[in-house]
Amino acid sequence: MTDEKSSFVLYAEYLEHIKLLTMEQRGALLTAVLCYASGDELPEMDGMTNMAFSFIKSRIDRDTAAYLEKIEKRREAGKLGGRPKTKDISQKQEKAKKANGFSEKQNNPVTDNVNVTVNVNDNNKNTLADAKALFERLWKVYPNKKGKGQVSDTQKKRLLAIGEDRLVKAIDRYSLELQKDADWRKAQYGSTFFNSGYVDYLDENYVPGKATEHKGKSNAFSNINHRQYDYDELEKQVLNSQPGGG
């Protein structure tokens, strides 16, 4: 990370991930976060700790990028001399009026019709570019990076309309469930998640623990007391029951 920013934000939402760790793992996680924020070498981490760290790291990266963008805008504004003073604006407006022959005493001002053409294609290009950029950021965060080419540009625009914060939150929720059910559950392909799987993890649809309920779920036949047969013995009985049997 850059050394231009000497602090970072810890969010309360991290607690869900941290609760799954032992005290030793939590210590390693905190050390890793501080090392990353300071630009130092990361300590060794096991799988669970590293997964929790990856979520926090992604959030730190997004916050840092937003911070640097804000700093750059302020720097550019400073080069231009800052915000123009009100007096300067008034003087420029007055000069413009005189140059156009405008007078407050004119009783019949002439209104010119100005046609403004908006290039819809340019807007669509910008939207698609934003959608692709967002998808690349989301893809980096998602744990199972398979099927990337199966997510269409149209779907990427849908993801853009949903918003980055909501989708990152959906990924975090899904990843948290994967952590809890790591002994039996595998992550969906990225194509599956971003085409439809994310829907269950948006705020309006999410039900905590719903997926876990499916583990070991019985069907209508699972409670039947199945009888055990000795098929060798059954075969002997059938042969002996036939005429001429041994």
Q: Shortest CA distance to 67 belongs to which of 141, 133, 5, 3?
A: 5
- The 10 Å CB-count burial string (b at 16+, else e) for 41-56 is eeeebeebbbbbbebb
pLDDT of residue 65: 85
In 3D space, the residue among 13, 60, 6 whose CA is nearest the CA of residue 166 turns out to be 13
Residue 100: both structure tokens together:
């156009």
- State the SS3 of the chain: CCCCCCCCCCCHHHHHHHCCCCHHHHHHHHHHHHHHHHCCCCCCCCHHHHHHHHHHHHHHHHHHHHHHHHHHHHHHHHHCCCCCCHHHHHHHHHHHHHHCCCCCCCCCCCCCCCCCCCCHHHHHHHHHHHHHHHHHHHHHHCCCCCCHHHCCHHHHHHHHHHCHHHHHHHHHHHHHHHHHCCCCCCCCCHHHHHHCHHHHHCCCCCCCCCHHHHCCCCCCCCCCCCCCCCHHHHHHHHHHHCCCCC
Query: What pLDDT is stored for residue 230 in this prediction?
Result: 54
Half-sphere exposure of residue 115, counting CA atoms within 13 Å on the CB side? 2
Task: Look at residue 146 in the predicted model and tell me its pLDDT.
Answer: 94
Whether the Cβ atoms of residue 212 and residue 180 lie closer than 8 Å to each other: yes
Rg over alpha carbons for the chain, rounded to the nearest Å, is: 32
Q: What is the pLDDT of residue 229?
A: 47
pLDDT at 86: 57
The structural domains of the chain, with segments of one domain joined by +, span: 12-80, 122-214
- For 243, how many CA atoms within 13 A lie in the half-sphere containing its CB? 0
From first to last of the 246 residues of the chain, give the pLDDT tens digit: 444 567 888 888 888 888 889 999 999 999 999 999 888 899 999 988 988 888 898 888 888 888 888 888 888 887 776 555 555 556 666 666 665 555 555 555 544 554 545 455 555 666 899 999 999 999 999 999 999 999 999 999 999 999 999 999 999 999 999 988 888 989 999 999 999 999 999 999 998 876 555 554 544 444 444 444 455 565 666 666 666 555
What pLDDT is attached to residue 228? Answer: 47
d(CA 49, CA 18): 9
Amino acid at residue number 204: E
